[in-house]
Structures are given as C-alpha cells and as structure tokens.
Amino acid sequence: MRRRGLVRGALAALLLAPLGLAAGPAAAEERVVNVYNWSDYIDPKVLEGFTRETGIKVVYDTYDNNEILETKLLAGRSGYDVVVPSGPFLQRLIRAGAFQPLDKAKIPNLANAWPEIAGRLAAYDPGNTYAVDYMWGTTGIGLNLGAVRERLGAATPLNTWNLVLNPASANRLKDCGIMMLDSPEDLIPSMLPAYGLKADSKRWDDITQVTDALYKVRGTVRKFHSSEYIQALANGDLCVAVGYSGDVLQARKRAEEAKNGVEIGYVIPREGALMWFDAFAIPKDAPHPAEAHIFIDYMMRPEVAAANTNFVSYASGNLPAKKFVRPEILGNTGIYPDEATMQRLSTNTAWDDRTQRFVTRLWTRVRTGR
C-alpha cells in the first residue's frame, strides 16, 4: 500500500535496474527474479543475502501506488515475477486472472504464516491460493503530541476520529497542519467506524457520509498526500497526519535521530480502523516462476521476515519472526496491536466498478472542493 518514502540509497544503487538489462547471451544464462514492490519496503541486506545464497540476481523496481501496479499487470507482459499488491487490489487482480496459483510445495516456509493474518488475508484470496502476506498494518492518526496538546489541552481525547472529522477540533489544529492520505480506498473504510458503520460497507449512503464529513473539514487539511507526511511530521511541520502505522513510526524514528524535540505518537481510533495487508503474488505470465517461488520461500524465513520488519517498522505476516523482531518494535502496539485493539480492526474488500466510479467522483470533490 502506497506508503513509503524514496528508495534508500544503498538499495537504489545496488538493486534497481531496468528489466531490459537482462538481455544478451551472458544474461540469458544468469538466474534472475524481477521484483516489483513498494519503495523503501525491504532491507537491502536481505536481497544481498538472497543473491549470495541462491545465486539468483534480484532486479528490483518500485512503485508508489496500487493503481500503477494494477495497470501494468492488466496490460500483460509486465516482466515481473513477484509483486506486492494490497488487499482490495489483490482481490480485483485475482478476479481478473492476473496471478498464477502458488505452488505451495515449493514454498515450505509457508508453514511460518501467521494463522490469524492469513485468515484475514483470505477475505481477498480465499484459501490463500494466490498470495502470502508480506507486511500488514493499520491506518490511524499520527500526532505531534506537543503541538496537539498545546492547541487542544491535556484533557482532550486523542484516540478518536473526531480529532480530524469534528470541524471544531480540526479548526484548532489547522494552523500547525493536518495532512491526510490521498487514498479513498484507505481513508473512507478507515473512517466509516467513526459513524458506527462497517469498514467494508458498500452502501453509497454510508460512503457519502464519510466524504461529506471530509468535505466539511477539507479547508483545515493542508494536503492530501500518501507519503509527504512522514518527513513533515518528523520535522515538526504538522500537528496531525492520517496515515499508515509504519510510516508514522518511521517519522518518529527520524525525529529521534534528529534530536529536534518533536515527540510523535500514533493512535488507532477507539471507534475502529482499517487493517491492511501487502502480499507476495506471482503474475500469471511471470518469466521466472521457479525463481519467484524460491524468492518468496526465502522471504518467509523467520529471521529474514524479522529483518524486513526491523527495517521498515511494519508488522510481518510471519508468526515465528516475532522471536527475531527488536523488542521496541514488537512491544509497540502501534505496530503489533494487542488483542483488544485487534478486535477493533476491520478489513475492506474491493468496490465494484460502479462504486469505484462513484467514489472517484466524491473524492475529486473532497480534494478540489468542486
């Protein structure tokens, strides 16, 4: 999902290459796996270790939204062997016949999949036939705690969608900045529980209730963007960002490293929020399916999955990996929610084409005011 900053220098320098480079007689003999993933979403040392152990070169390209991935896969001949769609897009692409079933006999480390996470992922991929979870997280509220408390007072609850959906509250935060995701697929289902509605509601009246509320506070929102809030939070340039759990925690890490005095928190609203998944899948026309299965199996090793979690600050769908995750990450309920919080988290399945067009019109109104 849509959620990372720029690709880190080491990864970009060592691993990104155009797919066309794997040409010519010498290259034809070289084992390759072409991976298409969200940017800044894997530990470069993991990819180096994979190549060192298997001899398979990783050609690694990145994208920053699901729509780009979907367009390439539906057009066919993308050239990619492993991709990482988010839940509703995974569901749509499965329906479109874009993926081949996983050969589970070739991925013995699927035994490490976290049953609860795999069960929730099955809402998009029944039987976990086509995909295995890579990372998961939540959509909630990132806070510049000092700035928010200064404007709202110590007694105001912060773990509620009212913080940004109530015009009175939002107006008091306007001067120091509110940003929200530019992603109706994430934002609308996340906010439906604020009105006692199910996150997976497909009723147009329900969807309109959220977009009408967003329209009323749009004047308090500095920008709708799905990644700029990370550095803005870290710099102290924002009060509030509605965003992804790991991104907010990356912002906190940057603020701590900068020693700039900005204290960043992350809350999952008490009314409920969205739980999302990014999953490994193999395109139907993948040129190197054998290498793709080897790659996914390697990524499902507990210590490898933990290395990626430690790098990106998102929770892994690999249960034994928790033994290798750094304590400060494993103990952070913004990354690994407790059981009570898990019960407040919902998944959302894909909108049909008609509803998608309806949402696009509503979202354009929210963003532009027209």
Q: Inform me whether the pLDDT recorded for 324 exceeds 70.
A: yes
Q: How does pLDDT run across 74-95, given as a tens digit for each residue?
A: 999 999 999 999 999 999 999 9
Q: What is the pLDDT of residue 39?
A: 86
Domains of the chain, CATH where assigned:
9-137+277-341 (3.40.190.10), 138-274+346-368 (3.40.190.10)
Q: What is the pLDDT of residue 1?
A: 57
Q: Inform me whether the pLDDT recorded for 31 exceeds 90.
A: yes
**Between β-strands 240-244 and 315-316, what pairing exists: parallel, antiparallel or unpaired?**
unpaired
pLDDT greater at residue 18 or residue 239: 239
Percent above pLDDT 70 for the chain: 92
Q: Inform me whether the pLDDT recorded for 298 exceeds 50.
A: yes
Q: Angle CA(28)–CA(34)–CA(39) in degrees, nearest 5?
A: 150
Residue 211's CB is within 10 A of a number of other CB atoms, namely 21
What is the C-alpha to C-alpha distance for residues 194 and 191, in angstroms, rounded to an integer? 5
Mean pLDDT within 175-193: 96
Percent above pLDDT 90 for the chain: 88
* Helix (H) or strand (E) run with residue 87 in it: helix 87-95
* Per-residue H/E/C for 270-310: CCCEEEEEEEEECECCCCCHHHHHHHHHHHCCHHHHHHHHH
Q: How does pLDDT run across 327-363, given as a tens digit for each residue?
A: 999 999 999 999 999 999 999 999 999 999 999 999 9
What is the C-alpha to C-alpha distance for residues 284 and 286, in angstroms, rounded to an integer? 6
Do the Cβ atoms of 184 and 359 come closer than 8 Å?
yes
Average pLDDT, whole number, for the chain?
A: 92
Query: Among all chains, which residue has been given the structure tokens 């940057």?
Result: 254
Residue 63's CB is within 10 A of a number of other CB atoms, namely 19
Q: What is the pLDDT of residue 28?
A: 53
Q: Inform me whether the pLDDT recorded for 150 exceeds 50.
A: yes
Mean pLDDT within 285-296: 99
Q: What is the pLDDT of residue 8?
A: 37
Give the residue from 314, 5, 365, 339 showing the smallest Cα distance to 188.
Answer: 365
Give Cβ neighbours of residue 48 (< 8 Å, ≥ 6 apart).
14
Do the Cβ atoms of 192 and 201 come closer than 8 Å?
yes
CA quadruple 64, 70, 76, 79: dihedral positive or negative?
positive
